[in-house]
Structure 1
Amino acid sequence: MSRIDESKDFIPIRIAVLTVSDSRSLDEDRSGQVLVDRIAAAGHTLADRKIVRDERGDISDQLRRWIADSSVDVIISTGGTGLTGRDVTVEAHRDVYEKEIDAFGTVFTMVSMQKIGTSAVQSRATGGVAGGTYLFALPGSPGACKDAWDEILSLQLDYRHRPCNFVEIMPRLDEHMRRK
């Protein structure tokens, strides 16, 4: 069973939050604010926060900027993971992934099923890695952001989480780029 090993030191990481919306401003961005608040409460650092329109190129361009920025360890986006024609966040994420974290979407669906039942099938939450940076795309509802953070990301982004976590393998995410 998973647990926090209190004998280990907490390692804060730097997280950027991207809200995908054609209509929201930062003042109206409840889902992004949920993530910002939880990031701070966990002891991590908010590296940056932006809102971009529901345009695949705009989303992937912003993801690439943060991937190239050594002050960003993790990117969490919210919005645009549904099934409508304007929902292109998942495609934008996949445009930049080097590796997809397939189980992230599966575990998110399992968590969502407990909260919203079969409506969970309408989410396409995803996770991946690019340039040594973790990327996660969450639905645009505050509840979904709470569930993803509270049930998955808060644990996997905590170095003390056992039996394993994302933080402990961060130094090795880009080892393929260092090989000769």
Structure 2
Amino acid sequence: MHTNDYREIKAAVITISDTRTEATDKGGRAVMEHLDDCRIEVASYQIVRDDFKAIQSAVTTALSQVDVIITTGGTGVARRDVTIEAVRPLVDKEMEGFGEIFRYLSYTEDVGTRAMLSRAFCGTKDQTVVFSIPGSVGAVNLAMKKLITQEVFHIVHELNK
């Protein structure tokens, strides 16, 4: 199906970073550009620090306001990377295939065996889908172009049946 077969959807973009600002948030900007290309309205954008409670608060607030939430950053294996741990308890259903396919594409197209460090995540809560992707522009472009923009309309449609 084409995107215009579905209703309009709204998105929240949340960048997780202790160092990025709106001026330096290339990953968040790339997410918003991909959404704009698909005519998905970005209803909110914010940068939150790499902090479990701050991430949960931002995602919880957005859950009641949008159809899709995309977090970028904080998905690595460093001690401060807690995005997945913060987001996972907030969803009802996890879509494991998203992370699996993201790592496969990362492995074959870009980063090789370092792809195993990527903890890209997707899950749903009620009628909202939540994607958590790494913060690098390359990872954002891969996730948005090859996965998220290809399926987000269909996922939201399924959640609203």
Shorter-chain TM-score tier? over 0.9
Q: Which runs of 5+ in 1 are unaligned?
A: 159-164, 173-180
Query: Where does residue 30 of structure 1 map in the other structure?
Result: 26
- Measured on the aligned residues, the alpha-carbon RMSD in Å equals 1.5
Q: How far apart in 1 are the matches of 2:48 and 2:145? A: 25
CA contact (8 A) 2:27 2:136 kept: yes
Q: CA deviation at 1:138?
A: 0.2
Q: CA deviation at 1:12?
A: 2.8
Provide the TM-score with structure 1 as the length reference.
0.84
CA distance 1:46–1:6, shift in 2 (3 Å): closer
Q: How far apart in 2 are the matches of 1:15 and 1:96? A: 17
Provide the TM-score with structure 2 as the length reference.
0.94
Indicate yes or no: 2:159 matched with 1:170.
yes
Q: Which runs of 5+ in 2 are unaligned?
A: none
How does 1:1-180 map onto structure 2 within 5 Å?
5=1, 9-69=5-65, 72-114=66-108, 115-158=110-153, 165-172=154-161
Q: Can you list the C-alpha shifts for 1:50-88, whole angstroms capped at 9, x where unaligned?
A: 00000011001111001122xx00000000000000000
The residue type paired with residue 79 of structure 1 is: G
Q: How far apart in 1 are the matches of 2:17 and 2:2? A: 39
Question: Larger deviation: 77-86 or 96-105?
Answer: 96-105
**DSSP 3-state at the match of 1:166:** helix
The residue type paired with residue 71 of structure 2 is: S
CA contact (8 A) 1:60 1:95 kept: no
Aligned length: 160
Q: How far apart in 2 are the matches of 1:169 and 1:111? A: 25
